[in-house]
Amino acid sequence: MTVVTRFAPSPTGLLHVGNVRAALHNWMLARQRGGRFLLRIDDTDAARSEERFVDAIRADLDWLGFDRDGEERQSARSDRYEAVFARLRDAGRLYPAYETQQELDLRRKVLLGRGLPPIYDRAALALSDADRARLEADGVRPHWRFRLDDDTPLAWEDRIRGPQAFDPRAMSDPVVRRADGSWLYLLPSVIDDVDMGVTHVVRGEDHVTNTAVQLQMFAALGARAPDFAHEALLTGAEGKLSKRQGSIGVAELRGQGIEPAALVSLLARLGTSDPVVPSAEPAPLIEAFDLARFGRAPARFDPQELAQVNARIVHQLPFETVADRLPAGMDAAAWEAVRPNLSTVAEAADWWAVIAGEVVPDGEEREYLARAAATARAIDWAHDPWHALTDRLKAETGRKGKALFLPLRRALTGRDHGPDMAALLPLIGRARALARLDSNAAARTPI
């Protein structure tokens, strides 16, 4: 069997990390099994779906490296939904219901007040043809419910949660179509999964009850249901991650300088007991991917942990992969010199300014820096000028440790910390280094 997975976002907002995690795991499962990964745009909600969000979803998936083997849009499949709707209606699995939302809310309150579960009582099934005709003549348009088979248990072996079972008699017949004719999520999703040949679905645990009722929809269509895996939801500082709660979005992370490999590395393991291993390439993560290793406890997404993983990813990136993001003139030697001190690639520009720009003198240690300037003029700059300079200054002044190195670093870079000076000084070069030492030696001590 060819494994087919899908990612099915609604284009009603930007992707957040919870969405990305679901997309990642479906993509990894397909790639691990040599299968197909599909993108389905669930845009049946015409009032809230926007084309700019469709474009953003595609752009985010491209940035993350999630290549697709096909794409479908629900808005282009209306004829197919209508045909299945007619088939299920004629088979008695769909029926019209005429209660208003206010009436349903009142019934729920009454049931809850009596200590009973708020289950729909199927009152619409007791209506006669004359009753329905009278309601529609009065302008009442029905919504449509899928009739659950009370005698068929809703059970499956979840790839993460283990055995799952629901009693259909304890559940309301789900609404699948609104009174205005628009579709809710449940039925179109099943039709699409059947038509697209989806074999595995990885999604959040908030879909567990959806899966329970969808199993009977698959059966009603004479189709085998996919294997389902329901992941514990990610949590953040605001609780459950949701695009409606202002959670961290992919576009925001890109703007912060987060590498796609860092986000993939973290989300590939978040929710397991396995350590997060920063990997610049996805292949090792795909090879080790195992749904059975994911637990049922919520996993916390920590932006600080992501930043740490990102820094470790940046430290692995070769010059060729970042060259187009570096400032003009910065070469491979400069990248390799500053890379260990970077948290994001963008920070390389700050260190290039230190190497090739101007450094403001601080006027400290003037006598020592004057000696350093004279010594720097006498050393061989062709081979390891930093150690040649510091070794000679140590012998001449008796200084060592911080007293020896820190004034030189400050004069040459304007910073107290940074990349290894042995790598940095040749990049600064003899002329700039002498000018900076001379400038510091001549500068007046600040008040």
Annotated binding-site positions for ATP: 243
Query: What is the Cα–Cα distance from 66 to 74, expressed in whole angstroms?
Result: 21
Report helix, strand and coil shares of the chain as percent, to nearest 5.
50, 15, 35
Instruction: Specify the DSSP element, H or E, that contains 54.
Output: helix 51-64
Query: Phi/psi of residue 114, each to 5°?
Result: -90, 5
Strand 94-97 relative to strand 143-146: parallel, antiparallel, unpaired?
antiparallel
CA–CA gap between residue 363 and residue 122 (Å, rounded): 86
Q: Which residues pair with 165 in a beta bridge?
A: 155
Reduced to 3 states, what is the DSSP secondary structure of residue 252?
helix
Hey, what amino acid is at 83?
A
Q: Tell me which residue of 252, 249, 228, 247 sits closest to 237, measured CA to CA.
A: 247
The residue to which tokens 């992969």 are assigned:
321
Is the Cα torsion angle 24, 240, 234, 218 positive or negative in sign?
negative
The phi, psi pair for 368, rounded to 5°, reads -65, -40
Helices (H), 164-274: 186-195, 208-220, 250-255, 260-269
What tokens does 315 get?
């430290």
Residues 6+ apart with CB under 8 A from 122: 147, 173
